Amino acid sequence: MTRDPLLMAWAALVTLSLAGAGLSLVPAGSVVSLLALSLALLKGRIILHRYLGLAHAPRWRRGFDMVLAGFCAGLAGLALLI
């Protein structure tokens, strides 16, 4: 049985969102901040690839992935300075 990539994407997004909700229940700290941004990066990539269709546009996908990862890395750097 083949699974619809879109359905898998939605399931992954809900799972990652619930994981993000779980982070709101634990004490703050650098690890929580890094995990929260990592989850956001993963969710952002899924939205770009599966919802916005960049999975079928490899050059654009690479560009958006790089910029998104760079942005999240910048936010992570600032979060680590707190």
List of residues contacting another protein (CB under 8 A): 6, 9-10, 13-14, 17-18, 20-21, 23-24, 28, 32-33, 36-37, 39-40, 43-44, 47-48, 50-54, 56-60, 71-72, 74-75, 78-79, 81-82
Closest to another protein by CB, 28 or 66: 28
Smallest separation, CB 28 to another protein (Å): 4
Decide whether 53 or 66 has the Cβ nearer to another protein: 53
Whole-number minimum distance, CB 27 to another protein, in Å? 10
Name the residue type at position 58.
Answer: P
Using CA atoms, how far apart are residues 61 and 81, in angstroms rounded to an integer? 30
Taking each helix axis as running N to C, give the angle between helix 30-46 and helix 58-80, from 0 to 180 degrees, rounded to the nearest 10: 160
Eight-state DSSP code of residue 48: I
Maximum separation of any 2 CA atoms in the chain, in Å: 48
